[in-house]
């Protein structure tokens, strides 16, 4: 009898905690979709409050290019996908071999630019494109079209 009373108390506390957490997330992120993950809660933004003063053509082109290349990736066989990832993706051993004097400079440098358009799966692509779509227009608005493209390429090059 006492165990069920304790369990009910714990369940009520947990329910209240979830409600409060959801209310806090919705207050802090009013344009977001709260989701409950297996390990911790996620918050996915749906839009931002900063309107753009200009049309983000570069951002649209980047989202389109990333999506188009991913659609090409998924048409390939598993072996062809592995070959594509090995040639155009960032592979740490290519850099180690280059530094050891046995590597090919093209195999190390070309992926610094090409790997920015490769994605491991639909969730990876959707997550990246969601954030690019929401926040990229504001960054492009701030830097201008050419400045934004240069910033994007530089940031992706540093990431590679």
d(CA 113, CA 103): 18
How many residues in the chain?
A: 160
Do 81 and 153 have their domain in common?
A: yes
Do 56 and 82 have their domain in common?
A: yes
d(CA 67, CA 76): 15
User: How many domains does the chain divide into?
Assistant: 2
Do 20 and 56 have their domain in common?
A: no
- Of 38, 12, 41, nearest to 25 by C-alpha is 41
Do 37 and 60 have their domain in common?
A: no
Which pLDDT tens digits describe the chain residue by residue (160 residues)? 555 665 665 566 566 666 655 555 555 444 445 555 554 556 666 667 777 788 889 999 999 999 999 999 989 898 998 888 888 888 888 888 888 888 788 877 888 888 888 888 888 898 889 888 888 888 999 999 999 999 998 988 887 6
The predicted pLDDT at position 61 comes to 95
The predicted pLDDT at position 147 comes to 94
Do 39 and 3 have their domain in common?
A: yes
Question: Which is it for the CA torsion 140, 46, 50, 23, positive or negative?
Answer: negative
Do 21 and 84 have their domain in common?
A: no
| Residue 40 structural domain | 1-46
Do 66 and 136 have their domain in common?
A: yes
Contacts of 122 (CB under 8 A, 6+ apart): 70
The predicted pLDDT at position 72 comes to 93
Do 59 and 101 have their domain in common?
A: yes
Do 35 and 64 have their domain in common?
A: no
């Amino acid at each position: 009898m006492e165990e069920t009373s304790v369990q009910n108390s714990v369940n009520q506390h947990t329910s209240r905690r979830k409600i409060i957490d959801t209310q806090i997330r919705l207050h802090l992120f009013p344009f977001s979709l709260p989701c409950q993950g297996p390990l911790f809660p996620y918050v996915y933004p749906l839009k931002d409050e900063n309107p753009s003063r200009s049309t983000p053509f570069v951002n649209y082109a980047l989202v389109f290019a990333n999506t188009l290349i991913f659609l090409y990736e998924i048409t390939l066989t598993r072996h062809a996908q592995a070959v594509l990832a090995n040639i155009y993706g960032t592979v740490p051993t290519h850099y180690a071999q280059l530094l050891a004097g046995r590597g090919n400079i093209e195999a190390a440098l070309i992926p610094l630019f090409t790997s920015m358009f490769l994605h491991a799966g639909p969730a990876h692509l959707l997550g990246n494109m969601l954030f690019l779509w929401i926040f990229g227009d504001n960054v492009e608005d701030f830097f201008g079209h050419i400045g934004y493209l240069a910033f994007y390429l530089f940031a992706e090059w540093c990431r590679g």
